[in-house]
Amino acid sequence: MTSSSAGTVHLAVYDTFADWETGHTTAHLTQNGYTVRTVGLSREPVTTMGGLRIQPDLALDELRPQDSALLILTGAAGWDTGDTLAPFARAARAFLDAGTPVAAICGATAGLAREGLLDDRAHTSAISFYLAATGYAGGERYVEVDAVTDPGADGAGRLVTAGPTEPVAFAREVFGLLGVYDEKKLDAWYRLFHDSDASAYEVLQGE
């Protein structure tokens, strides 16, 4: 599989971006033929929570759902300290309305809740009352799982959500959504990276 056949995944980046939440996701997407491009509010460099500086590949106003296979949103302090990151939640709405999937983890789920995107979709987060504090109307759709994918309806895009301690489960849902691995290999991948099950390595190698 080549990057041209797999497509482009867009990763939102901003100050205090939570580095660890998407490492598994982006690394294995890249290894399976996807191109990962970073998107900032502008093209100015941002600094992650781990102190790394990232130069975004493009600015948010250049991002179009039709050019993307997926938009990934991670946690950051900005989701809970104002509306600086609200434009990314609005971008997520545009993606979902266009039928292009979105994956959100940690604080990004609160941003989607404030945007009203979780009111009618199955979702999860750090804990239910974290999202309840946003005043959203989707509490009945909250699911007590590590990560979940809402299948979308009526042309809407699928949505992955996960809590901040579940980067491996988050990656698993993304890989399942994009069809990166078949069901057997997806299970093996999760067992290897989540449970340190060495026997799963042989399945991933096709043995």
Q: In whole angstroms, what separates CA 77 from the centre of its chain?
A: 16
Q: Using the 8-state DSSP alphabet, how is residue 195 labeled?
A: H
Relative to beta strand 35-40, strand 102-105 is unpaired
Q: Which pair of tokens denotes residue 150?
A: 């809402």
Closest among 118, 125, 111, 92 to 10, alpha carbons compared = 92
* Contact (CB, 8 A) for 108 and 72: no
Single out the catalytic residue among 106, 110, 131, 192.
106
Q: In whole angstroms, what separates CA 100 from the centre of its chain?
A: 12
What span, in angstroms and rounded, lies between the C-alpha atoms of 190 and 168?
Answer: 7
What span, in angstroms and rounded, lies between the C-alpha atoms of 41 and 59?
Answer: 5
* Contact (CB, 8 A) for 64 and 100: no
Closest among 137, 33, 26, 7 to 73, alpha carbons compared = 26
Active site residue 86: no
Per-residue b or e along 39-72, where b marks 16 or more CB atoms closer than 10 Å to that residue's CB: bbbeeeebebbeeeebebbbebeebebeebbbbb
Would you please indicate which residues are annotated as catalytic (active-site) residues?
Answer: 106
